[in-house]
Amino acid sequence: MKLRKRMIWISILITSALFLLLVRLAEIQLFFTESFSKWNVNLIQESVKQRTEEVQISDGRGAFLDRNGKPLTISQKPAIVLFPFLKKQPWPIKDAADILNMSEMEINHKLERAKKPIILTKNEKGSISNMMLEKINKLKYPGIYGVYIEKTKKSRLASHTIGMTNQDPQLLRNKYPHKKELSISTKIGTFGLERTFDEFLLPEQDTKLLYHVDGLGNPLFGMDVKYTADANPFYPLQIKTTLNKEMQKSLEQILDDHHLKKGGAVLLDIEKSSVLGIASKPNLNMASQKTRQNYMLTPMYPGSVFKTVIATAAIETGLDHPSKTFNCNLNLYGKPGEDKGKLNLEEGFAQSCNYTFTSLAHQLMKKDDSIIEDTSRKLGLTEQVGWEGSLFHQDDFKQLYHEGTGAIWGDEHDKKVKKAIAQTAIGQKNVKLTPLEIANMMATIARGGEKKQVKVADQIEYKNGTLMASFKDQDLSGDTIDRYTAQRLQKLLRKVVTSRKGTGRRFRDLPFDVSGKSGTAETGKLTKDKKRLYHKWFAGYFPADKPKYALVVVDMDTPEGKAATNAIFYDIVKIVYKIEKNKT
Element (H or E) spanning 4, and its range? helix 2-26
DSSP three-state, residue 579: helix
Type of residue at 572 = I
Cα-to-chain-centroid distance, residue 390: 22
- As a three-state string, the secondary structure of 401-442 is CCCCCCECCCCHHHHHCHHHHHHHHCCCCCCEECHHHHHHHH
161 secondary structure, DSSP code: H
- Give CA separation, 146 vs 84, 132, 143, 209, 532, in Å: 15, 8, 10, 11, 59
| 575 vs 542: CA distance, rounded Å | 13
CA angle 230, 28, 44 (to 5 degrees): 20
118-120 and 74-82 strand pairing = antiparallel
Catalytic-role residue among 274, 280, 304, 376: 304
Cis geometry, peptide bond prior to residue 336 (ω within 30 degrees of 0)? no
Burial of 363 (C-beta count, 10 Å sphere; 0-12/13-18/19+): middle
Question: Would residue 304 show up in a list of annotated catalytic residues for this protein?
Answer: yes
Number of H-type helices and E-type strands within the chain? 18, 24
| 451 vs 421: CA distance, rounded Å | 27
| Category of 477 on φ-ψ map: left (φ > 0), alpha (ψ -120 to 50) or beta | beta
Question: Which residues are the active-site residues?
Answer: 304
